[in-house]
Amino acid sequence: MPRIEKIKLPDIGEGVAEGEIVRWLVKEGDEVKQFQSLVEVLTDKATVEIPSPYSGRVKKLLAREGERIRVGSPIAEIEIEGGEAPAGENVEEAVKVEEKPQAAAQAIEVGEKARQIIRAPPSVRRLAQELGVDLSLVKGTGPGGIITKEDVMRFYEENIKRQKQEARVAVQETVGVRPVERIPLRGIKRRMAERMIEAKARIPHVYLAEEVDATELVRLRENLKQIAESKGVKLTFLPLVIKAVVKALKEYPLLNSTLDYEKGEIIVKKYYNIGIAVDTEQGLVVPNIKDADKKGLFQIAREIEELASKAREGKVGLEDIRDGTFTITNIGSIGSTIGFPIINYPESAILGIHRIVRRPGYYEDRLEPRYYMNISLSFDHRFIEGGYASRFLAALKRYLENPLLFLAPEDEFR
């Protein structure tokens, strides 16, 4: 006898209490297999796909796209045969282990039975995995229904196009004689709005700024660019800034800490996971460079490029964005000369780096063309005094103006 089972939003971990239904990957009446992805869910950490714990038919979808659902709440009903065994905790493990958006479909290998159902050669499977495509949803046009690379690319491009259209469901209205456009605040943008409100409500922000003579920094980057390119690395100014920031944080550790106000404790981090704010079409994403103090300049540059690419493709996972200790936002890459960012709560501070400009300046009592850059610091004034933050910013200025001070231990340039 068939029976109805309710599918609940599983515990995704990392203290996640709720998620937003971004997109259903199935509809009512569809036949689904165990571990097939049912829905994309956005948490305040990342986007994940929730797999089905059963094989059966989708009886009813209990949550709408855009709706916020608490962990443990039912999201769908599936009609299954009486003998079907549930996947149990494997559903939660499928999400936790992979910790990547659009990748839960690859988190569990169903075995040879699944391989017989999905007819695709290894090269096509690799392509699908790289693009985050669920092959069970792709219609094969090759001989005997075999899925080809063209089928995967066609499905991927159509999926991306649909996601962009859904993200900008722009409703044109007319109020009197004035046209307006209404864009739903959903997904990452809504999370970003909530996090900004939380940060400003909880943290009394104080702001400082310094002007940096970046001439030596510019000269060093120019000298290292050719070496970096020979290693397949694109060297921007950000890796250099990260190395200087870590050096300054070790001198002023309160900037690399969080405040547990309820317990009355300042938690000073003895590791340095430096967040980099990435501007994407979906909103601001902040992955972080893990253990930046233990990595070389070119390794940091390579990781920045990889993380930024993943962020813009919507493939940043929980592992990429959790456990950050201090954040840098490179506003200057867009063109800003000064600005004061909001702290990435629960961190205690955030650094803004701004556009480098060339103008006349005095150096050793002579006027000559120099490069200048503004840096700005927003910090938590509940437990960080202005003098302490000013000394941190002065130390950072000193390192940026004399980059050999923070690169001295490096041996990767030999």
Q: Is a pLDDT exceeding 90 seen at residue 386?
A: yes
Q: What percent of the chain has pLDDT over 90?
A: 47
pLDDT for the residue numbered 115: 37
CA 392 to chain CA centroid, Å, is 27
Tell me the pLDDT band of 388, cut-offs 50, 70 and 90: very high
What per-residue confidence (pLDDT) applies to 251?
Answer: 96
- pLDDT of the residue at 134: 81
Does 254 score more than 90 pLDDT? yes
pLDDT tens digits for 180-223? 888 877 777 777 888 888 888 889 999 999 999 999 999 999 99
- What mean pLDDT do residues 166-182 have? 61
What dihedral angle (degrees, nearest 10) is formed by the CA atoms of 72, 76, 82, 83? -70
What is the distance between the alpha carbons of residues 411 and 222, in angstroms, rounded to a whole number? 18
Q: Report the pLDDT averaged over residues 313-341.
A: 88
Q: Is 161 a residue whose pLDDT tops 80?
A: no
The per-type count for the chain, helices as H runs and strands as E runs, is 12, 21
Q: Which residue has the tokens 């499977």?
A: 125
Task: Specify the length of the chain in residues.
Answer: 414
Q: Is-contact 91 53, C-beta < 8 A? A: yes
**Mean pLDDT over all residues of the chain?**
83
- pLDDT band of 35, cuts 50, 70, 90: confident
pLDDT-derived band of residue 82, with 50, 70 and 90 as boundaries? low
pTM (2 d.p.) = 0.63
Is the pLDDT assigned to residue 168 strictly greater than 70? no
What per-residue confidence (pLDDT) applies to 83?
Answer: 55
pLDDT at 362 over 50: yes
Distance between CA atoms of residues 369 and 187, nearest Å: 46
Mean pLDDT of 310-316: 85
**Tens digit of pLDDT for each residue in 91-134?**
554 454 344 434 333 333 333 333 345 677 767 877 887 777 88
For the chain, the 3-state helix, strand and coil shares in percent, each to the nearest 5, are: 35, 25, 35
List the domain boundaries for the chain.
118-164, 190-407
In a 10 Å sphere around its CB, with 0-12 CB exposed, 13-18 middle and 19+ buried, how is residue 381 labelled? middle
- pLDDT at residue 116 in the model: 40
Look at the domain 118-164 and name its fold: Dihydrolipoamide Transferase (4.10.320)
pLDDT at 352 over 90: yes
The per-residue pLDDT for 111 is 35
Catalytic residue positions? 381
Q: What are the C-alpha distances in Å from 403 to residues 109, 238, 317, 359, 409? A: 49, 13, 33, 20, 12
Name the CATH code of domain 190-407 (choices 3.30.559.10, 3.40.50.300, 3.30.365.10, 3.30.460.20).
3.30.559.10
Mean per-residue pLDDT, 248-264: 95
Question: Smallest Cα–Cα separation from 292: which of 249, 242, 234, 352?
Answer: 242
Contacts of 159 (CB under 8 A, 6+ apart): 133
Mean pLDDT of 359-370: 92
Residue 63, both tokens: 């949550």
* Confidence (pLDDT) at 34: 86
Strand order across the beta sheet in which 56-61 lies: 3-8, 74-80, 56-61, 31-32
The mean pLDDT value for 255-277 works out to 95
